């Protein structure tokens, strides 16, 4: 009788989980409710349906929301400021020009893509496209051919970095929910991102640009980014590279010293080790990078102007941060209600590896509602109990699971994805052409990224 009762309870919890996801999708897709509001409402209803005591519901919601924001807001805010400084000072054009001169005409798409990869670390997808596309169009006009040959390596690079690497909100939230070391996630994410970009984006772009010819957009000279990046005294290439590479260098202090401590090469309790590891923590590394960026990129701007640039960087990310926090709230409810454990048990019974289940759940959520951030946070919340029930998973395994979830949240961008319309509008492509090109590119990124993550999880 106890087994029957437990099975019935598990079934009811799984039905509640299914109902919660369906309700979330209906609110977002059918009734156009903002994802932030929809996640809060569904979290509340799920808590009530799952039988969480009434006096515990609000603390559960707030704990899930607050714990996620504690890590996400710092990283996303600091990253946005660094990105905005690089954008306004013309750093993107400086780096693109230098790389094109280095690579030459034949490899101009490669040069533009590498530029986007470097700038994709602190700059978000939308802002990256606004900054880089005028440069892309200028290069495409100079060398000729389908604009996809030059635009897609750039757009794909920003998409890869946005999905795989902190300080972008999706991987930060996913890593936080799954208990991943964010510094290690930066390193693993970077190792996965580079081959994913080359295979899934660059090679695909060279292929699709031969099949589909897209002309230069007629209105590209009117893009606002042209005025923003046309500065009188742009920074030197050396200063730009320092700002871009400094956070990765600092983060290596934490991950490297942690590895040496675990291997008992050094004593991790010593003050100098703890101090260097503190500097290497991602929020501290980004804070130091921001201060260095202000010092190197300020030029003749007053501190008042710098303050306004940093302030303007925060506005556009507020919605992203709040949606991410609400995703953490939903995850908190799933953990407190036992729904997560029930889902974990069901998937475990199928014998499906956690990394495969994580990818498939993320794909389903991505296709259904469009937002990569919502897919990342919700899938991570659903997978978290499976991770908790698998103590044999190492930090490397957890990093690869985050990459798998990010890959699933990238595939099949279509009409319910804002990024789909952003690319369509900027390149002046009709919906059919965008589906034949951008949707396939995003799917290529997601599939290649998952394969690399799966191989990494097997090898490590």
CA distances from 275 to 63, 271, 283, 327 (A): 29, 6, 14, 33
SS3 state of residue 337: helix
pLDDT confidence of residue 49? 92
Q: Say whether pLDDT at 229 is over 70.
A: no
pLDDT confidence of residue 348? 60
SS3 state of residue 265: coil
How much helix, strand and coil, in percent to the nearest 5, is found in the chain?
A: 80, 0, 20
Weakest mean pLDDT among 19-23, 36-40, 124-128: 124-128
Cα maximum dimension of the chain? 79
DSSP annotation of 105 = S
Q: Say whether pLDDT at 201 is over 50.
A: yes
pLDDT confidence of residue 115? 85
Q: Say whether pLDDT at 176 is over 60.
A: yes
d(CA 412, CA 408): 9
Transcribe 143-181 into DSSP letters: H-S-THHHHHHHHHHHHHHHHHSTTSHHHHHHHHHHT--
**Tens-digit pLDDT profile for residues 399-445:** 999 999 999 999 988 776 777 877 887 788 888 888 899 999 999 99
What global pTM score does this model have?
0.76
d(CA 12, CA 16): 6
**Tens-digit pLDDT profile for residues 45-77:** 999 998 899 999 999 999 888 877 876 788 778
pLDDT band at 340 (very low <50, low <70, confident <90, very high): low
**Tens-digit pLDDT profile for residues 248-301:** 788 878 877 877 886 678 888 899 999 999 998 888 888 999 999 999 988 888
Q: What values do phi and psi take at 10, rounded to 5?
A: -60, -45
pLDDT confidence of residue 221? 46
Q: What values do phi and psi take at 350, rounded to 5?
A: -75, -15
Name the more confident of 413 and 348: 413
pLDDT band at 139 (very low <50, low <70, confident <90, very high): confident
Q: Say whether pLDDT at 18 is over 50.
A: yes
pLDDT confidence of residue 341? 67
Report the chain's mean pLDDT, rounded to a whole number: 83
Compute the average pLDDT of residues 169-178.
87
Q: Say whether pLDDT at 157 is over 90.
A: yes
Query: 116: part of which helix (H) or strand (E)?
Result: helix 108-119
d(CA 102, CA 178): 41
pLDDT confidence of residue 225? 42
CA distances from 132 to 112, 226, 233, 322, 422 (A): 9, 9, 18, 27, 14
d(CA 43, CA 227): 44
Q: Say whether pLDDT at 184 is over 50.
A: yes
Name the more confident of 317 and 41: 41
Per cent of the chain over pLDDT 70 is 91
Which residues constitute the domain of residue 250?
A: 2-459
SS3 state of residue 299: coil
Query: Token digits for 205?
Result: 């772009």
Number of compact structural domains in the chain? 1
pLDDT confidence of residue 136? 82
SS3 state of residue 280: helix
pLDDT band at 208 (very low <50, low <70, confident <90, very high): very high
Weakest mean pLDDT among 34-48, 93-107, 158-172: 93-107
Terminal-to-terminal C-alpha distance of the chain: 43
**Tens-digit pLDDT profile for residues 381-409:** 888 888 888 888 889 999 999 999 999 99
Q: Which residues contact 141 (CB under 8 A, 6 or more apart)?
A: 216
């Amino acid at each position: 009788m106890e087994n029957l009762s437990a099975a019935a309870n598990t079934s009811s919890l799984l039905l509640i989980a299914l109902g919660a996801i369906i309700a979330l999708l209906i609110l977002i897709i059918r009734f156009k409710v903002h994802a932030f509001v929809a996640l809060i409402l569904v979290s509340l209803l799920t808590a009530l349906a799952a039988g969480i005591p009434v006096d515990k519901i609000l603390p559960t919601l707030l704990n899930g929301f607050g714990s996620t924001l504690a890590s996400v807001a710092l990283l996303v805010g600091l990253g946005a400021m660094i990105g905005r400084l690089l954008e306004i000072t013309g750093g993107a054009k400086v780096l693109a020009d230098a790389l094109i001169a280095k690579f030459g005409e034949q490899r101009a798409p490669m040069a533009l893509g590498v530029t986007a990869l470097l700038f994709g670390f602190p700059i978000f997808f939308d802002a990256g496209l606004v900054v880089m596309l005028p440069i892309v169009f200028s290069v495409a006009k100079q060398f000729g051919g389908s604009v996809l040959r030059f635009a897609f390596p750039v757009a794909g690079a920003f998409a890869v970095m946005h999905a795989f690497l902190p300080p972008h909100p999706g991987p930060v939230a996913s890593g936080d929910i799954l208990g991943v070391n964010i510094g290690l996630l930066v390193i693993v994410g970077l190792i996965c991102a580079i081959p994913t970009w080359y295979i899934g984006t660059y090679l695909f772009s060279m292929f699709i640009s031969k099949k589909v010819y897209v002309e230069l957009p007629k209105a590209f000279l009117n893009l606002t980014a042209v005025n923003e990046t046309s500065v009188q005294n742009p920074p030197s290439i050396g200063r730009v590279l320092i700002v871009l590479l400094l956070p990765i260098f600092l983060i290596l202090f934490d991950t490297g010293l942690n590895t040496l401590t675990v291997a008992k090469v050094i004593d991790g309790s010593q003050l100098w080790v703890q101090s260097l590891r503190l500097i290497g923590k991602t929020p501290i590394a980004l804070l130091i990078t921001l201060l260095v960026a202000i010092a190197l990129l300020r030029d003749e701007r007053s501190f008042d102007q710098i303050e306004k640039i940093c302030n303007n960087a925060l506005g556009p990310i507020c919605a992203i941060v709040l949606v991410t926090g609400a995703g953490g709230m939903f995850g908190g409810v799933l953990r407190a209600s036992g729904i997560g454990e029930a889902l974990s048990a069901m998937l475990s019974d199928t014998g499906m590896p956690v990394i495969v289940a994580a990818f498939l759940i993320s794909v389903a959520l991505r296709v259904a509602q469009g937002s990569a951030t919502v897919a990342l946070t919700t899938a991570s919340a659903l997978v978290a109990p499976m991770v908790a029930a698998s103590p044999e998973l190492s930090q490397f395994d957890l990093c690869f699971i985050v990459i798998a979830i990010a890959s699933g949240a990238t595939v099949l961008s279509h009409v319910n994805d804002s990024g789909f319309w952003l690319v369509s509008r900027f390149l002046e492509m009709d919906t059919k052409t965008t589906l034949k090109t951008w949707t396939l590119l995003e799917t290529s990124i997601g599939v290649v990224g998952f394969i690399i993550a799966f191989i990494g999880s097997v090898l490590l």
